Amino acid sequence: MIVSKTPLRLSFFSGGSDLPAFYKKEMGAALSVTINKHIYICAHRTPNNGIKTMYDSIEQVADLKEMQDGLTKEVLRFYDIKENITIASISDILSRGSGLGSSSAFTVGLVRAISSMKKIEEIGRNEWQLRPETLAEYACNIEMSMFPVGKQDQYAAAFGGCNLFEFYDFGYVKVSGIEIDTIKGLENKLMLVYSGKGRSANQILQKQKEAMIDPAKFALVKSSRDKAYTAFKLLQNQDYDSFGSLLHDAWMDKKSVVKEITQDYFDTVYSNVMSAGALGGKLLGAGGGGFFLFYVPLEKQENVRYELTKTPECKVYDFKFYNKGSTIESY
C-alpha cells in the first residue's frame, strides 16, 4: 500500500493573479504557507477487483473506461493503470469547500501516490520521486484542463513551507521561500476560523475569470498581486502587524472583484472580528465560504474568541506552520 501525505495551505495574498486570465497578460504572484493539516491518499493494488475509489462517496467499476470521477480517471489514464486498484482519501480537517486548497492537495497527493506505485512496479523501489515543480505541473495540467482554477495551490502543496510564487505568461513558476523559523512569530497571531458555510470554488473562479476583461476589475487583482510582494518583504523583516493590516487591504480589493466572493453573513462576521481587535483577515481561497483567516494581536485574541461565540456556526481551529510538501509516508 502506498500512502501520500500532502499539506493544506493558508493563502495570504494573490487576489486571483494565479489564474491564466491574469498572468497571460501580466505576471501573477501569490504568497502562502502550508500547515500541519493534510490530505492522505492511500493506493493499493487489489487483483481481480476492478477500480474502487473511496472519497466522499464510493465508486466501483470494472475498468477505467467506466469511471465517473474525471480527475482520478485522468491520473490513472496518464499512468496507464486500467484496473485492479483501490484508492481512498482521508483528511485531518474539514476540507471540501474549505478554502484551504484541498482540491489541489488531493490532486498533488494522488499524483504523488500513483507515480510512486508505478515506479515500484517498474524497478522494485521508490527512487527518483517526482521533483516538486514536476509534481506541481502535472497536477496543474490535470486540474486546469477540467476546472477554471489557477496554479498557486498545486505549487503550495508540492513545495510546502512559506513561498512567494510568481507566474509567468509562458508557464514558468518562480518559487522564492522564507524559512519557517523566520516567520515563527507570525504563527500565533493568526486565527483560523471555520465560517460554518462551505462552498464550491469553481463557480466563483469562473466569475473571476470573466471579470478580467473589465479594466477596473483587472486593476483590483493587480493591486492584490502587488501586495504579495510587499507582504513578502514584511515577513522577511518580521513586521507582522503591518502584514496583518495589509491582509485587510487586500481583502477589500478582492471582495470587490465579483460579488460572489462574499455575502452579508461573512461581512458581518468579518466586521465583528475586526471590531474585537483583529488587524486584518480574509476568506481563504476563492472566497464565498469556508475558512476565515484573521491576524489578531495576542492581547486581543480573547476578545475575538468571545465575539465568535456569538456566531455558533463559527469554530476556531488550531494549527502550526508546516515546512514539507507532498511526501510518501509508507509503501
Residue 330 — very low, low, confident or very high, per pLDDT cuts 50/70/90? confident
Give the pLDDT score at 200: 67
One domain, residues 175 and 235: no
pLDDT at residue number 129: 78
DSSP string, 181-245: GGGHHHHTTEEEEE-S----HHHHHHHHHHHTTSHHHHHHHHHHHHHHHHHHHHHHTT-HHHHHH
Q: Please identify, among 179, 212, 228, the residue that sits at the C-terminal boundary of a domain.
A: 179
Closest by CA to 4, choosing from 131, 106, 155, is 106
Specify whether 98 is located in the same domain as 146. Answer: yes
Do 171 and 188 lie in a common domain? no
Residue pLDDT, tens place only, 266-285: 999 999 999 999 999 999 98
If one counts the domains in the chain, the total is 2
Residue of 188, 146, 145, 144 lying closest to 167 (CA atoms)? 144
Say whether both 173 and 200 belong to one domain.
Answer: no
pLDDT winner (highest mean) among 22-36, 39-53, 246-260: 22-36
Same domain, 24 and 152: yes
The pLDDT tens digits for 74-132 are 999 999 998 899 999 999 987 677 899 999 999 999 999 999 998 877 776 666 678 99
Query: Residue 287 belongs to a domain with what CATH number?
Result: 3.30.70.890
Q: Are both 274 and 310 inside the same structural domain? A: yes
Q: Is residue 330 part of a domain?
A: no
- Where a domain ends, among 146, 179, 212? 179
Confidence at residue 199, expressed as pLDDT on a 0 to 100 scale: 66
Q: Are residues 19 and 152 in the same domain?
A: yes
| pLDDT value, residue 210 | 87
Give the CATH number of the domain where residue 58 resides: 3.30.230.10
Residue 327 lies inside a defined structural domain of this protein:
no
Domain end (from 130, 152, 179): 179
Indicate whether 114 belongs to any domain.
yes
Whether the per-residue pLDDT at 11 is higher than 70: the answer is yes
d(CA 212, CA 210): 5
Confidence of residue 209 (pLDDT cuts 50, 70, 90): confident
Find all residues with CB under 8 Å of 140, minimum gap 6, and list them: 151, 154, 155
250 and 193 assigned to the same domain:
yes
> What are the pLDDT digits (tens) for 74-86?
999 999 998 899 9
pLDDT of residue 4: 96
Residue 326 included in any domain: no
Confidence of residue 258 (pLDDT cuts 50, 70, 90): confident
Whether residue 133 is contained in a domain is answered as yes
Together in a domain, 82 and 51: yes
**What integer pLDDT is reported at residue 310 of this predicted model?**
96
Mean pLDDT for the stretch of residues 9-37: 95
- Of 11, 28, 24, 31, the C-alpha closest to 223 is 28
Looking at the structure, tell me whether residues 20 and 157 fall in a common domain: yes
Residue 24 main-chain phi, psi, to 5 deg: -75, -15
Q: If you average pLDDT over every residue of the chain, what do you get? A: 92
- Side chain identity at residue 179, one-letter code: E
In terms of domains, do 126 and 265 share one?
A: no
Q: What is the predicted pLDDT for the residue at 127?
A: 60
If you compute the radius of gyration of the chain from its CA atoms, what whole number of angstroms results?
A: 20
If one compares 310 and 285, the residue with the highest pLDDT of the two is 310
Q: What is the DSSP letter of 261?
A: G
Domain that holds residue 55: 2-179
Give yes or no for residue 249 having a pLDDT over 80: yes
Residue 324 within a domain: no
Beta strands in the chain, from DSSP E residues, in sequence order = 2-13, 28-45, 51-54, 58-61, 85-91, 162-167, 173-178, 190-194, 280-283, 291-295, 315-317, 327-330
Report the share of the chain in percent with pLDDT over 90. 75
Q: pTM of the prediction?
A: 0.94
170 & 242 share domain: no
